[in-house]
């Protein structure tokens, strides 16, 4: 998708190092990427690849798979080879799975060296293997699994505790000269999360993976993620995002893309500008907006369509739309770039808008 690195109204983007997650650059001047995580057992190669295909179709650019067992590690070569987007292996404790993921051709590994060090200190060997393979590592600090030492020091997973943990984890790799790192510091509370990322952004130049962890079911998780990511991205902080929802991962991708579109960090596809309706509305705006959205789903060019409930304010309110309708007296005034081009009966509004949208697509060279 066409993307802008930053819109002028947002703060200048924080300067970060760039890492390559397979073919997808993260950090530096790379557009903010959207990622998600599969929910299938990774050892079930077909189901996992199927879900990765669905995520890719929804616009996901990087996918993470959990690797809690040897069977999962054994599945990685096939998954990494066949997935259409870069695959990140998510590993908690076992260094042998990290080596397996690198050998399997995974594009990156999420692992916290602090965990590795506690059980079997292979951090230096991991740094060497990752470096030789050109595989970056994501250090992912989560409020729920914060190091006991820091929990004792701060009493609870504060923003300071998350940042101290992340920078300490980084230092374990830096000791071995490894800096191909991106970081997340996730918390379920957007306010603490925002504070943590702000602090982290000041204290290092690693690219940052934004996430509100355990954000909740779809509605609440969407609000929390949009609020937190919106605040940070508007400040120029954040290089890749993952929305966490207790919902199918395709929903996470849709929300992630919509957040970037809303901030102007990614060119919008179809945008429906519909009025909230008020006492002047002469048509069922909600249904009409839904029908227009459904009729133009997957439209091949960026398009802003206005659906307005009345002819009093409608055309004026929607002047910046490519195309729109303002309803009144059982009819719809169809307008293009603010000019009324025809008036049709209410029953023909949706089909007329779709026809006009097709005409616009043809004008822009898309059949
Ligand atoms: Fe009300 Fe008309 Fe504005 Fe819709 S377009 S909110 S119906 S005044």
260-282 pLDDT, tens digit each: 999 999 988 888 888 888 988 88
State if residue 37 touches ligand 1 by the CB under 6 angstroms criterion: no
The pLDDT of residue 8 is: 67
Query: What is the separation of C-alpha 361 from the centre of its chain, rounded to a whole number of angstroms?
Result: 27
State if residue 281 touches ligand 1 by the CB under 6 angstroms criterion: yes
ipTM of the modeled complex: 0.97
Share of the chain above pLDDT 90, in %: 75
Residue nearest to atom 2 of ligand 1 (CA): 310
Ligand 1: residue of 280, 289, 329, 338 to mutate (most ligand atoms within 8 A of CB) is 280
- Interval between CA 310 and ligand 1 midpoint (Å): 5
State if residue 296 touches ligand 1 by the CB under 6 angstroms criterion: no
Q: Which residue has the higher pLDDT, 204 or 119?
A: 204
Mean pLDDT confidence for 165-178: 95
Share of the chain above pLDDT 70, in %: 97
Whether the pLDDT of residue 317 is over 80: the answer is no
Length of the chain: 367
Per-residue pLDDT of 242-252, as tens digits, reads: 999 999 999 99
Whether the pLDDT of residue 361 is over 80: the answer is yes
Q: Distance between CA 282 and CA 307 in Å, rounded?
A: 12
CA atoms within 13 A on the CB side of 135: 28
**Residue 188: both structure tokens together:** 């379920």
Has 60 been labeled as part of a binding site?
no
State if residue 277 touches ligand 1 by the CB under 6 angstroms criterion: yes
Has 310 been labeled as part of a binding site?
yes
* Cα radius of gyration rounded to whole Å, the chain: 23
Has 106 been labeled as part of a binding site?
no
Whether the pLDDT of residue 2 is over 60: the answer is no
Q: What is the mean pLDDT of the chain?
A: 92
pLDDT confidence bin for 345, thresholds 50/70/90: very high
pLDDT confidence bin for 7, thresholds 50/70/90: low
pTM over 0.90: no
State if residue 279 touches ligand 1 by the CB under 6 angstroms criterion: no
Has 317 been labeled as part of a binding site?
yes
Per-residue pLDDT of 16-43, as tens digits, reads: 999 999 999 999 999 999 999 999 999 9
- Interval between CA 344 and ligand 1 midpoint (Å): 19
- Interval between CA 288 and ligand 1 midpoint (Å): 14
Which ligand 1 atom sits nearest the alpha carbon of residue 310? 2
The pLDDT of residue 147 is: 87
Tell me the DSSP string of 237-280: --SEEE---SS-HHHHHHHHHHHHHHTTSB--SEEEEE----TT
pLDDT confidence bin for 119, thresholds 50/70/90: low
Whether the pLDDT of residue 365 is over 80: the answer is no
Contact criterion met (CB below 8 Å) for 35 and 62: yes
Ligand 1: residue of 273, 276, 278 to mutate (most ligand atoms within 8 A of CB) is 278
């Amino acid at each position: 998708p066409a993307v802008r690195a930053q819109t002028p109204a947002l703060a200048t983007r924080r300067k970060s190092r760039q890492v390559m997650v397979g073919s997808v650059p993260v950090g530096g001047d790379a557009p903010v990427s959207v990622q998600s995580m599969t929910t299938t057992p990774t050892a079930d190669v077909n189901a996992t690849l199927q879900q990765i295909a669905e995520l890719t179709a929804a616009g996901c650019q990087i996918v993470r798979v959990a690797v809690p067992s040897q069977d999962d590690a054994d599945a990685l070569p096939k998954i990494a080879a066949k997935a259409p987007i870069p695959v990140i292996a998510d590993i908690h404790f076992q260094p042998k799975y990290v080596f397996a993921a690198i050998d399997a051709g995974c594009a990156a590994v999420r692992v916290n060296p602090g965990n590795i060090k506690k059980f079997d200190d292979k951090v230096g060997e991991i740094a060497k293997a990752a470096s030789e393979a050109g595989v970056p590592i994501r250090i992912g600090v989560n409020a729920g699994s914060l190091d006991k030492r820091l929990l004792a020091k701060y009493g609870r997973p504060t923003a300071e505790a998350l940042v101290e943990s992340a920078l300490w984890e980084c230092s374990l790799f830096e000791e071995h000269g490894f800096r191909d790192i991106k970081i997340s510091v996730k918390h379920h509370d957007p306010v603490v999360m925002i504070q943590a990322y702000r602090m982290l952004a000041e204290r290092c130049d690693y690219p940052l993976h934004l996430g509100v962890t355990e954000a909740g079911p779809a509605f609440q998780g969407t609000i929390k993620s949009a609020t937190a990511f919106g605040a940070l991205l508007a400040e120029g902080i954040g290089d890749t995002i993952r929305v966490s929802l207790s919902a199918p991962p395709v929903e996470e991708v849709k929300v992630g893309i919509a957040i970037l579109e809303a901030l102007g960090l990614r060119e919008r596809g179809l945008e429906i500008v519909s009025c909230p309706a008020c006492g002047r509305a002469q048509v069922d705006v909600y249904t009409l907006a839904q029908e227009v959205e459904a009729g133009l789903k997957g439209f091949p060019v960026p398009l802003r369509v206005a659906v307005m409930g009345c002819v009093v304010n409608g055309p004026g309110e929607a002047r910046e739309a490519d195309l729109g309708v303002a309803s009144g007296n059982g009819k719809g005034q169809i307008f293009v770039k603010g000019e009324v081009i025809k008036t049709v009966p209410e029953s023909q509004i949706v089909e007329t808008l779709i026809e006009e949208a097709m005409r616009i697509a043809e004008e822009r060279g898309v059949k």
